[in-house]
Amino acid sequence: MNPQDQKQFQALYQKQLQALTLQGLRKKTIASYSRAVRRISQHFDRCPINLTQDDLKEYFANLVKTRSWSIVKIDRCGLQFFWKHILEKEWDWVKIVKPPVFRRLPDVLTVKETELLLNTVRKLCYKVFLFTVYSMGLRLGEGLKLEVGDIDSQKMRVHIREAKGGKDRFVPLPETTLKVLRLYWLKHRNSKLLFPTIQGTAETIKNSTKHMHEGGAQEAMQAALQECKIQKRVTVHSLRHSFATHLVEAGVQLRLIQEHLGHVSPETTAVYTKLTEVSYQNGNSAINSIMRQIRINWDEVA
């Protein structure tokens, strides 16, 4: 990119960042939409202000070959925002690229497989973390960001803050999970975080403001899966899917599951009915019932 193009691009790029911020979009979305503008300018090695429809078709044809469809969709949205709000141009984006619709069902663990998996995890911090994520149907990031003040032992619920879409919600706190979290907190005694970093001395961990790294939990789960010889394609997020499926099997109403998981649309929650043959009605007591079935040995961990 020559100096003139670089100067023009930087001016437009800063306008993009400002416009995205003024739209109240989350940091992750701003970063993704901005990355789309940088990516296309690098592809053509010039400021994208005068790109034609043929240029865009060529760009997306190349992107489809080298990136996932999720990236393609994000780039399409980011560039559409850039064209509409920064360049003030109209474009028929549907004719340029239309990602296919995938309707895949996730792999889920049975209650017995969940019990086996959690008992196989060696390190206490990961064992407690994975159990917590499962027992409350949390996303990975939601579990990592849990703080001591989020736990309400009087009302037996947990405050999940700034979840997906910037929304807060309350989730039921199983009795077993409260006991396990209390025991684990006595190990690190961090005044703020439930899952502080595990790097450093006991004193640095106690005073740390950084939570546990997500990669460690993922690796611990994959190691346990291999040891258990569970062949299903599951990750830490699959514990959330498994939890929801187990609630359906226990007869909990879909509306309650939707609230627990923080789903905006009931259609998102309804997918779990396809993962089980059971469909009855029950109440929140089913959560504690499920937790009691999973017997974890907390003594033989590091």
Q: How far is the C-alpha of 209 from the C-alpha of 247, rounded, in Å?
A: 34
Tell me whether residue 157 is one of the annotated catalytic residues: no
How are strands ordered across the β-sheet holding 157-160? 151-152, 157-160, 169-172
Tell me whether residue 210 is one of the annotated catalytic residues: no
Alpha helix positions (H), 23-68:
27-44, 53-66
Tell me whether residue 84 is one of the annotated catalytic residues: no
The amino acid occupying position 244 is A
Tell me whether residue 43 is one of the annotated catalytic residues: no
Tell me whether residue 164 is one of the annotated catalytic residues: yes
What are 159's strand-pairing partners? 170
Active-site residue, selected from the candidate residues 46, 76, 127, 139: 139
Q: How far is the C-alpha of 161 from the C-alpha of 57, rounded, in Å?
A: 40
Q: What are the angstrom distances between the C-alpha of 156 and each of 49, 108, 172, 284?
A: 55, 27, 6, 11
Q: HSE, CB side, 13 Å, CA atoms: give it for residue 189.
A: 6
Nearest to 42 by CA among 80, 75, 70, 83: 75
The amino acid occupying position 57 is K
- What residues contact residue 267 under an 8 Å CB cut-off, 6+ apart? none
Active-site residue, selected from the candidate residues 164, 169, 188, 206: 164
Number of other residues whose CB lies within 10 A of the CB of residue 1: 14
Q: What is the DSSP letter of 86?
A: I
Q: How far is the C-alpha of 288 from the C-alpha of 42, rounded, in Å?
A: 53
CA 145 to chain CA mean position, Å? 12
Active-site residue, selected from the candidate residues 240, 241, 246, 260: 240
CB 126 within 8 A of CB 189: no
Nearest to 218 by CA among 196, 241, 203, 236: 236
Tell me whether residue 260 is one of the annotated catalytic residues: no
**Catalytic residue positions?**
139, 164, 237, 240, 263, 272
